[in-house]
Amino acid sequence: MRTATKISSVNAGQVLRAEGLLTPEQLDEVQREAATTGERIADVILARGLATEYDLAKAMVHQLSLPYISARNYDPPKDVRAIVPPQTLHQHRLLPLDVFGEVALFATFTDLDPQVVADLEAETGKRLAFVIAQKGELEAVLNERYPPEDLGKQVASRLDQLFGQ
C-alpha cells in the first residue's frame, strides 16, 4: 500500500483507539468537536491532553507502518524546499524532505485528507510518500524554514499579480 493511501485512510483518533490510548467514548467526543470546530482530530486530542505528541507519533508509526523521523535532523536539498508553496505547507503542516524520481517525501504528524493528498500529487506531478514526526518539532522546523512573516509577503505579491497592482 502506498504511504499516501495509508496516511489518508484513517484518522489519528482511530489510530490512537486501535492502540488502546482512547476509549470509544473519547473518540466520539473528539470527532464531534473536530467536526464542529474544523480542527484536525489530532489537534483536538493533543489540546485535550488525551495523548502526548510522542504517543501520537508512536501510534501512527506502529499502526500505519510508516517510518519516524526527527525533523530537526533532516536538511532537505534546496530544490525540494520549493516543491510546494509555503502557505500550503503551513496550512497542512507538511515538511518537504526529498524527491526520489517520481516520489516526493514529506513529514507530517498526523493523517491527511485524501483530497489534500490528491491535490498535492496533481500540483507537484509526484506521488507522495510520508514519514511521521512529532507535531511540535515539525512545526518549529516548518516555521524556521518557511517563516510565517514571509507568507504574508508572498500572499500580497500574488494578489498584486492577480489584480494588477
> What span, in angstroms and rounded, lies between the C-alpha atoms of 165 and 160?
5
pLDDT-derived band at 155, boundaries 50, 70, 90? low
Are residues 54 and 115 both part of a single domain? no
Question: Sign of the CA dihedral 41, 47, 52, 53?
Answer: positive
- The answer to whether the beta carbons of residues 18 and 63 sit under 8 Å apart is yes
Are residues 76 and 25 both part of a single domain? no
On the CB side of 112, how many CA atoms lie within 13 Å of its CA?
29
pLDDT-derived band at 100, boundaries 50, 70, 90? very high
- Looking at the 3D structure of the chain, how many domains does it have? 2
Last residue of a domain, one of 35, 64, 93: 64
Higher confidence at residue 39 or residue 8? 39
58-86: b or e for each residue (b if 16 or more CB lie within 10 Å)? bbbbebbebeebebeeeebeeeebebbeb
Q: Which domain holds residue 39?
A: 3-64
Q: What CATH number is associated with residue 143?
A: 3.30.300.160
- The answer to whether the beta carbons of residues 129 and 104 sit under 8 Å apart is yes
pLDDT at 1: 38
> What span, in angstroms and rounded, lies between the C-alpha atoms of 126 and 48?
36
Is pLDDT above 60 for 154?
Answer: no
Which three three-digit cell numbers place residue 160?
498584486
- pLDDT, mean of residues 26-38: 95
| 50-66 residue pLDDT tens | 999 999 999 999 988 99
pTM of the model: 0.82
